[in-house]
Amino acid sequence: MKLHNDQTGSASHHLVLGIEFGSTRIKAVLIDENHLPVVSGSYEWENQLVDGIWTYSLESVWAGLQDCYAQLSKAYYQEFHAPLVRVEAIGLSAMMHGYMAFNEKGELLTPFRTWRNTTTGPAAEQLSQLFRFNIPQRWSIAHLYQAILNQEPHVKDINYLTTLAGYVHWKLTGNKVLGIGDASGMFPIDSVGCNYDQAMMQQFNDLIDQRHYPWRLGKILPQVLVAGEDAGSLTAEGAQLLDPSGQLQAGIPFCPPEGDAGTGMVATDCVAVRTCNISAGTSVFAMAVLEGSLSRQYEVIDMVTTPSGKPVAMVHANNCTSDINAWAGLFKEFAEITGHAIDNDTLYATLFTSALSGDSDCGGLMSYNYYSGEPITHLEKGVPLFIHAPDSHFTLANFMRTHLFSALGTLKMGMDILFIRERVKVDKVLGHGGFFKTRETGARIMAAAINSPVSVMETAGEGGAWGIAILAAYLVRKDKSQALESYLLNQVFIHTKSYTVQPNATDVAGFTNFMEQYKIGLPIEEMAAQILS
C-alpha cells in the first residue's frame, strides 16, 4: 500500500493506531483508510506467579508498551521514510477483568491481580447469590469483595478501581473511563441504560455499609462509554510515556478502551445478534450475541456486552494453548539437537496437521491443559497432565489430537449449555486466535467440539490490536449516528474472505467419546494439582 505524505512529510495522519495487551504479547498496529494493517510492532511478555498471585508488574507494562511502540515507529520510518509524529486516532485494549486498585495519589495499592487468578471463590459465590446474576471469579467486583472478606488493609484507601486497559488509558489521556464491554467484566451492566446495573450497585453498597469505607462503589469505578464515544485525547505526559523519543504529538483522540472480548467480537464481525465468535489462545472464550435473555442464571455462563452494549453470553476457560505451546517447544528443541532446526510456522503446521489422521477419539490418550485453576470444572489449582493406558494407541497423531481436544474440553462443557440446553440460535460462528492459525485444523477440531460450522476469516490472525484499531477508526470515521454493526458490515468487512469448515460426523462422535473420558478423569487432575502444589 502507498500513502501520500502530507506537508510535514508524514503519512501517519491517515492511519489509526491500535494497541492490545495480550497475555503473552503486546501488539501495536497501524491501519489505513481501508482498515488494512500497514505496519506493526510487538513485545513478548509473560505473567509471573508471585506469592501465589498471577501478575504483571507496572514496570513491565510500560517497558513493554514503549518497546512495542518503538518497533512500530521504526517499521513506519522504514516504510515511509519519515518519523511517526501523529495518527488519526488511537485505541487501547487489554485482557479483561482482574484487579488494579489505586489510592488518591494514583499509587497501586496491591500487585495487579489478573484474570487468571482463582482465589475469589467465596466472594464470587456470595455476590452471585446476592445479585441473582453470575459473578465469575475473575471479575473485578469479585476481587474487590474477596479483598474485603480477607480484611485486606488497602481496601479503605481505594480511590480508583480499573482494568489494565483502563489503567493505561488513564495514564495516557487523564480520563478514568472504560468501554462498556470491558466494564461488563468489572461489574454487571444494564444493556438498556448502557451503564452499571444501579440496583445491583446499591445492593453491594448496602452489603458493605457497616464496614464504613470512605468510598461508594460508583465513585471508584471508571465511567462507562460505548463504541464511538469520545474517550479523551493524548496528553503531553501521555505522549512522553508512549513515545519517550518525543516525536509523537499530543492531542490525538482516543476511543473507549476495551477488553480482549470486545476486540475479538469486532475483529470477527460478531457484534450483531445471532453471531458468535470463539477466541482461542492462552485462554479460550466463546461469545454469542443474544436475541433475548437466558432462561436462568448459570455458573459457567458470563453475561457481558458488545462494545455497543448488546447482551452477550460468554463461556470462558482459563486454559487453552499453553500446554500445546510447551509440547511444541519440546519438539522444536529435539529437532535442533538432531541438527534439523525448524521454524515455528512449519513446526505448528506439521504437528497440527498430524492430528487430523489420528483416531477419532484420540486412541485412549488423555490430557488436561490446566496451567492454572478452572472455575468451570471447579478446580482452584491446576497442573498440566498427560496420561494414557498401557494398551492405548500411542502415536504422534493421537498425541496431538488429544492436546487439541483437551484445549477445548472445558469450553465444550459450557457451549453445550448454550446450544443444547438453552437452544441459543446463531447464524455464524467465527474463530480467531492462535488455535486457528493452521488452516483447517483448528476450525475442524472446533467444529467437532461444538457440532456446528466454524468459519475463519482471512483477517483472523490480526487479533485484538486490529480490533481496537477498528474501534478507534469508527470513532473518527463513522457517519453521524452510524451503528457499529453497520460500520463493520459496510466499511470494514465488505470484501473480506473467509473459509468455513462443516462438522465431520466421525470427528463429532470422537469428540463426544473423548469428553466422556475427560469428565471421568477430572478427579485425577484435581488430585495431581493438590499433590504437586
User: How far apart, in Å, are the Cα atoms of 29 and each of 17, 54, 87, 231?
Assistant: 6, 27, 12, 20
Contact yes or no for 333/446 (Cβ under 8 A): no
3-state helix, strand, coil in the chain (%, to 5): 40, 20, 40
Rounded-to-integer distance, Cα 161 and Cα 201, Å? 14
CB proximity list for 527: less than 8 A, separation 6 or greater: none
Summarize the confidence of residues 189-193 as an average pLDDT: 93
pLDDT for 336 beyond 60: yes
pLDDT for 323 beyond 50: yes
Task: Give the pLDDT score at 460.
Answer: 62
Summarize the confidence of residues 366-387 as an average pLDDT: 93
pLDDT tier at 5 (50, 70, 90 boundaries)? very low
Percent with pLDDT over 70 in the chain: 97
pLDDT tier at 7 (50, 70, 90 boundaries)? very low
DSSP 3-state assignment of 93?
strand
Task: Give the pLDDT score at 496.
Answer: 85
pLDDT tier at 8 (50, 70, 90 boundaries)? very low
DSSP 3-state assignment of 336?
helix
Q: Report which residue type is found at 432.
A: H
Summarize the confidence of residues 205-211 as an average pLDDT: 97
437 or 465, which is more confident: 465
Summarize the confidence of residues 172-197 as an average pLDDT: 97
Q: Which of 299, 303, 450, 444 is nearest to 375 (CA)?
A: 299
